[in-house]
Chains A and B, each alone.
Chain A
Amino acid sequence: MSNIFGVKKMDLILEGIKKAFWLLITFDPEVMKITFLSLEVSGSATLVSLMIGISTGVVVALSEFPGKRIAVSLINTGMGLPPVVVGLFVTIFLWRNGPLGFLGVLYTPTAMILAQAVIATPIVMGITLAAIQQLPKKLQLQILSLGATRLQMVWILIKEAKLPLLAAVMAGFGGVISEVGASIMVGGNIKGYSRVLTTATVMETSRGNFDIAIALGIILLLLAYFINLILTQIQQRERPR
């Protein structure tokens, strides 16, 4: 890098990385707070999406009803919902004079959990639906013929589909931990309150604080990697040999 601009750019990055590692190694309180909030918000959202998504996905997969085809297409479409559109609608709903304005949760972590849950739920629902539909139809009869109640049957089917369901968990969590649009719109990125890894990175980058931004970026990468590593391990361990 001979010219002066080249040297500046490299300097910027190297300085940034050095400072980032320093923030990480010393467990900088601000960075830690942001990290834990990220986990809390996305973790809660994923949990909610699992509860709603898996139960609904299983019910739709196992029932026959007029309009089932339409329901399935809606779910599949929902999997590709643009997060900013979700952010927009959740904001409108939570706005002071909006239908849910009385809750007063706009610009709080609760709103972020809500928005992220709306994003993750269709993903979990769609994958669950596909996973259960893939099971042989006669398997249901086999389970019933062993004397199971319908509820017991559903539970056994879920256990039989545990591999793709784990994939649903990974997809759901992965989708929201790295989400930024809706999180900024409904969370407000308030310091120490509704600031998470993604929203903070956007802000710090726009301010030119590359050291902090890089630190946050590294954490986000590591988080995503490790959570997926754990879930993949579980999935591969259960894989038929």
Chain B
Amino acid sequence: MRYAKMVMSESIPILEAKNLKVNRGGAILINVPSLLIQKGEILSLIGPNGAGKTTLLQSLSHLLKPFEGEIFFKGERVNSNHSAFEYRRKLAMVFQEPFLFDTTVFENVASGLKIRGIRRHSIQKIVAEQLGRFGISHLSNRSAKTLSGGEAQRTSLARAFAIGPDVLLLDEPFANLDPPSRESLIEDLERILKKTQTTTIFATHDRLEALRLSDRMAVMNQGKIVQIGSPEEVMNHPVNEFVASFVGVETILPGKVIRKNGGTFVASISDQEIEAVGDARLGETVILCIRPEHVTLSIPPSKEKTSARNVFPAKIEKIISLGLYQKVQLDCGFPIVAYVTNHSLEELSLKEGKEVKASFKATAIHVVRRKEK
């Protein structure tokens, strides 16, 4: 919704990349035909290691050369050395490691400003504001070498924000932090990004982080953007198995369509029949994606009538605790994964080896149709 509004309000995207390609030693690191970024949006790049997230970030910021393709900033092409330098001055990048300089926190946060030759008087004000924003004012005179991981990363972020960048690029900025520092910093960053409306592109391998912070998510694999859209779109309507498994769809089943009933069809998997909403041809092989949150477990015999079209006897193979809830791996003839609250686990006395019933609605299944080559 927010992204759609952004597109409508601004005519030119703040950043546009066309046919961006990077080759290293014969291997294609990234191949992005088109990427448009709207002013004020937060775009996350998610994907496994080696997907090309860092390479894409570095090419977009003109830090990595050589690359093929073009970058347009506010509609103008970035090409010669000079315009590339001017463009770089409108950006700021924060890495996984803080890369602070061997001086005080204050001087670190001021470094971007000093590089631009800003007067000492103005530097004081700007730095003080950023230190306050990130909650590190009390560390102003401390040597950067003595900071904890969280404090150092806050300093690095404050240093980036002090420049007042038009685009902020973050390369897995929270990856090195321990959970409490991560949580606290993500919260603060969320608040600050909302307030400053800074256009942000950030790379992460943590889909929950991306889900939380971004307006749009781009899933990358082997150098290409495989799917881009709002988090809801990407998470609930993954365009292929790779995206599905990456965004956390735990159950991915290939099945053959054997019957069609108007708006639904039945697919056969391991001698079982699953009914799903959607369109498919008879005999076609489809991929059924079922999120674990959509699978319900019950203890037989259960006489309740349910609207779920798919109910199967299942045996619990494994239960893994995920803290606030449990991941239950079952075998219904085909493998399926359900998330169950700790409470339910106890109430139903679920344990490994137990026979239960697994059910899920036809509407909860996301169908991926294989493209014919």
List the interface of chain A (C-beta within 8 A of B): 136, 138-139, 141-142, 144-149, 152, 156, 159-160, 162, 238, 240-241
Binary interface profile of B, 166-183, with partner A (CB < 8 Å = 1, else 0)? 000100000000000000
B194 contacts A by Cβ under 8 Å: no
- The stretch of B88-96, B128-136, B261-269, B315-323 in contact with A is B88-96
Minimum Cβ distance to chain A for residue B122 (Å): 16
- The prevalent SS among residues of B at the interface is mixed
A146 near B112: Cβ-Cβ < 8 Å: yes
- The prevalent SS among residues of A at the interface is helix
A152 near B115: Cβ-Cβ < 8 Å: yes
Q: Which of A136, A141, A159, A240 contacts B63 (CB 8 A)?
A: A141
B146 contacts A by Cβ under 8 Å: yes
Chain A residue nearest in CB terms to B96: A138
B102 near A141: Cβ-Cβ < 8 Å: no
List the interface of chain B (C-beta within 8 A of A): 58, 61, 63, 85, 88-89, 91-93, 95, 97, 99, 101-102, 111-112, 115-116, 143, 145-146, 159-160, 163, 169
Minimum Cβ distance to chain B for residue A69 (Å): 18
Known: A146-B163, A160-B101, A240-B143. A138 touches B95 (CB 8 A): yes
A241 near B143: Cβ-Cβ < 8 Å: yes
A138 near B97: Cβ-Cβ < 8 Å: yes
Rounded to whole angstroms, the CA-CA distance of A241 and B115 in the bound complex is: 27
B115 near A142: Cβ-Cβ < 8 Å: no
B111 near A146: Cβ-Cβ < 8 Å: yes
A149 near B95: Cβ-Cβ < 8 Å: no
Task: Show 12 residue pairs from A and B whose CB-CB distance is below 8 angstroms, ordered by the A residue.
Answer: A136-B99, A138-B97, A139-B99, A141-B63, A146-B111, A146-B112, A146-B163, A147-B88, A147-B112, A162-B102, A238-B102, A240-B145
B163 near A142: Cβ-Cβ < 8 Å: no
Rounded to whole angstroms, the CA-CA distance of A142 and B99 in the bound complex is: 7
Rounded to whole angstroms, the CA-CA distance of A162 and B115 in the bound complex is: 19
B99 near A241: Cβ-Cβ < 8 Å: no
Closest 7 pairs (CB-CB, A-B): A145-B93, A240-B145, A142-B99, A147-B89, A146-B112, A148-B115, A141-B63
Rounded to whole angstroms, the CA-CA distance of A152 and B113 in the bound complex is: 13
Q: Which of A142, A148, A238, A240 contacts B93 (CB 8 A)?
A: A142
For B91, the chain A residues whose CB sits under 8 A away are 145
B97 near A144: Cβ-Cβ < 8 Å: no
Known: A138-B95, A156-B101. A146 touches B159 (CB 8 A): yes
Q: Which of B97, B163, B169 contacts A147 (CB 8 A)?
A: B163
A147 near B93: Cβ-Cβ < 8 Å: no
Chain A residue nearest in CB terms to B88: A147
Identify 17 new A-B residue pairs, CB closer than 8 A, beyond the known A145-B91, A160-B102: A136-B97, A138-B97, A138-B99, A141-B93, A142-B93, A142-B95, A145-B63, A146-B92, A146-B112, A146-B115, A146-B159, A147-B163, A156-B111, A159-B101, A160-B101, A240-B145, A241-B143
For A149, the chain B residues whose CB sits under 8 A away are 85
A241 near B63: Cβ-Cβ < 8 Å: no
Chain B residue nearest in CB terms to A161: B102
